[in-house]
Structure 1
């Protein structure tokens, strides 16, 4: 399966050698292997991790122009994932996504994207100057969750925009839903343009055949993955994979170099090195256990009154070609409580912290670090919550319809860079937004810069706030005011 020796960890080994040699550091960072660190912090994290917190020098290579151990570590990652080239990213998959977009499109280029993109995609669009063409994913109105985009929707968007320069999709979604990515890749490539994939939640797909197909295996040209989200890397540690000749590897390297810090964390880089080794050597059995634990949780949750946890039963619905069972979405509507309320109860009463909550659901992510004992604690907590709320059920309103995609008057870049004025959200209907509005997590906007604000969007935002969701985006942290474009008549969209 692999060409290279996947047991190797060249970067981590170089850092260990540096540490074990007790090298005297006359370089940054200033804590000097922990000796200059705050005592309480140092005692908690330990000297070992601080001893490999180093800067750029020959022994440990340079992320911006790798010629040694980082170069070798990235080549091993490319081999493990089936890429032609892999680039390490230590500013999260948000940064990798921005680099991916900027490697594929530029000023005035159209890029077809799902409406449920993460805010980092729009950030990449703003930075590149591209024009987004939105495709609405299928919506499951029972649970209020966006599914994937269908091949038919992508085909229609390309037929209406044959001058598009790229297509970006999500595989899988935050909730584990995978689109028919093979079919989408064939359609996109028939226009001889690249398929970009936000695979933040799919770095594990390559290593177990009980999971949906990975984007690279399905034919994607460039893929951004959150190694830290599911696998054993540290937070912010991600990878960008490139395959084929539709994306210039050198262009991607240059963009990544422009976006990433010149003082990267070698701790994060080393965690990518060892996470890749772990998957290459032991991925199948580790993921088998994670899947089994997740399916056990799903089965037990569905036996509790008032809860629903979807799984492979949704495959075949519009936008659902496959499903990642490690995502455990707990729907609590039949208890008369919101997903946010469920998350709050779990966190504050039972010290169980889910990944996110939306209006109707709470998401728990099962990974290599979970086991049956921990799941049983979740199950017992959910049983107690059911006993408290099920018989008191007073009903919760029907799932809110996600607002229609509003008119895009300006490109996100034009709106973001425009002169603006703040006004109350209530009075902003008809104005052109210069800001995002989204619930975080998951960070999927309901309003993008450049779009005309509608009454439907304002009412939807107010309902999200009433449900105590973490609505963010505007400079006004309470989201009572929003910045809108001033002097609109001087601007026109480039189409």
Structure 2
């Protein structure tokens, strides 16, 4: 059944609630912002007047039967899926739900080692056993790309009892794998395909972009509309194609972990973002693609920078490329990406998505325009003229982060095992009891159950020297690490 994609059932219900001027004797306790006037004055009273709780006119995310259900059906149709589930705990909860819907404790899942921390936490929650495949790498850029069809085929051949194949579409920097062929291969062996499409929310809405996972036959996909689709931070959607996975199982799993007090601000923004993408997406994204193409041309004229793009297609791990991801290699400056990231923020008031050892990443999305792009290009020209460093250890540290660790214990067993705290400098050879990662991008350097190597320790200390934001350790300063043992 085709729906009218101009409709916004949930957002319209929110507006109708607001117009009624209901007297609230339910939660939340701020009562339309009256309880926090300073905050209401800053963000606007209307925002807080629609920050409400579930009620009959607004439906309930745990068992949607009216306006949320209608909004989810519109979302599913927009993404060529059979079902859509709104998420207010971010794509993290969607990724975890995908894994938990398919894998029972002790069952295998084939997964690239450059998956986000949400996938690692999904392994802990489900008890699934990871079969890691090494993503292809680009030595010049020092970053992981997609996975090859051959590496997936080899993993399936060695693990015919695996329940699922997990794919990233696209990677943080915009590379996609051959999802269509991977889906065919996995389905041939009775395995489901789960896709982390956190950075591909815009894919279905422009012909020059890579195809979305649902279009390519994947069974489930977790999509961050807040990242590139225009909805509010933390709002996301879980998509399902019927067949190998039962819709009611997914619903049950979601109700295990998702809040019963879902934010209507977040869900309402999903409804509006979906309408915008379907009705205006091609026009808006045409403008964005033109801006990023022009930006690459201009940046590549600046000494010390290389803005990479579609010329990577055909190289290992790059089946297609998302040009809205403006990745810029900075090795020609003799600076690290971390240093350029800090310079842009501190000296030019520009916040890019991330910096790594050799690159920075600017995400260009539906809210960008010419002025913001021009400001970035101008800042990079100025940095090229004023700031230079020594290339020294850049390449060495970039390559360390890409090595595939040795898995000794399953993530779940390591998480629940007895642990002790040791100095990071003394942890070589130990089995990690916790994760360490730089955020963003949130891809673990080490996860629970993996052997800690000398190279990992060096790389973590290098990240600290670059003032990178390290997360997930008990010790906030990462001087110590929890390892398995009494």
Query: TM-score scaled to structure 1, two decimals?
Result: 0.96
Other structure's SS at 1:342 match: helix
Give the whole-Å Cα distance in 2 for the aligned partners of 1:379 and 1:46: 34
Of 179, 202, 205, which aligns to 2:203?
A: 205
Tell me what 2:453 maps to.
454
Give the whole-Å Cα distance in 2 for the aligned partners of 1:469 and 1:25: 44
**1:166-186 per-position Cα deviation (integer Å, ceiling 9, x unaligned):** 010100011111111111111
Question: Does the Cα contact within 8 Å between 2:94 and 2:238 map onto a contact in 1?
Answer: yes
Question: Does the Cα contact within 8 Å between 1:306 and 1:335 map onto a contact in 2?
Answer: yes
Give the whole-Å Cα distance in 1 for the aligned partners of 2:318 and 2:440: 22
Shift of 1:372: 1.2
Question: Does the Cα contact within 8 Å between 1:168 and 1:197 map onto a contact in 2?
Answer: yes
Question: Does the Cα contact within 8 Å between 1:334 and 1:393 map onto a contact in 2?
Answer: no
**What count of residue pairs does the alignment treat as equivalent?**
483
Tell me which moved more, 404-413 or 181-190.
404-413
Other structure's SS at 1:59 match: helix
Give the whole-Å Cα distance in 1 for the aligned partners of 2:389 and 2:98: 47
Question: Does the Cα contact within 8 Å between 1:359 and 1:467 map onto a contact in 2?
Answer: no
Give the whole-Å Cα distance in 2 for the aligned partners of 1:476 and 1:336: 32
Of 97, 102, 105, which aligns to 2:103?
A: 105
The correspondence of residues 270-309 of structure 1 with structure 2, limited to 5 A, is 270-309=268-307
Shift of 1:398: 4.8
Is residue 143 of structure 2 the alignment partner of residue 145 of structure 1? yes
Other structure's SS at 1:12 match: helix
Shift of 1:334: 0.8
Shift of 1:458: 1.6
**1:63-110 per-position Cα deviation (integer Å, ceiling 9, x unaligned):** 001111001100111111111100000000001111111011110000
Tell me what 1:493 maps to.
none
Tell me what 1:223 maps to.
221
Structure 1 residue ranges without an equivalent (≥5)? 488-495
Structure 2 residue ranges without an equivalent (≥5)? none
**1:149-179 per-position Cα deviation (integer Å, ceiling 9, x unaligned):** 0111100000011110101010001111111
Question: Does the Cα contact within 8 Å between 1:337 and 1:396 map onto a contact in 2?
Answer: no
Is residue 468 of structure 2 the alignment partner of residue 472 of structure 1? no
Tell me what 2:10 maps to.
11
Tell me what 2:88 maps to.
90
Question: Does the Cα contact within 8 Å between 1:438 and 1:447 map onto a contact in 2?
Answer: yes
Tell me what 2:118 maps to.
120
Give the whole-Å Cα distance in 2 for the aligned partners of 1:297 and 1:333: 19
Give the whole-Å Cα distance in 1 for the aligned partners of 2:477 and 2:27: 40
Shift of 1:465: 2.2
Give the whole-Å Cα distance in 1 for the aligned partners of 2:403 and 2:357: 18
Tell me what 1:438 maps to.
437
Shift of 1:460: 2.2
Question: Does the Cα contact within 8 Å between 2:357 and 2:394 map onto a contact in 1?
Answer: no
Tell me what 1:340 maps to.
338
Tell me what 2:156 maps to.
158
Shift of 1:393: 4.8
Give the whole-Å Cα distance in 1 for the aligned partners of 2:104 and 2:187: 19
Shift of 1:62: 0.4
Tell me what 1:245 maps to.
243
Give the whole-Å Cα distance in 2 for the aligned partners of 1:394 and 1:164: 47
Question: Does the Cα contact within 8 Å between 1:301 and 1:307 map onto a contact in 2?
Answer: yes
Tell me what 2:391 maps to.
395
Shift of 1:406: 2.6
Query: TM-score scaled to structure 2, two decimals?
Result: 0.97
Tell me what 1:54 maps to.
52
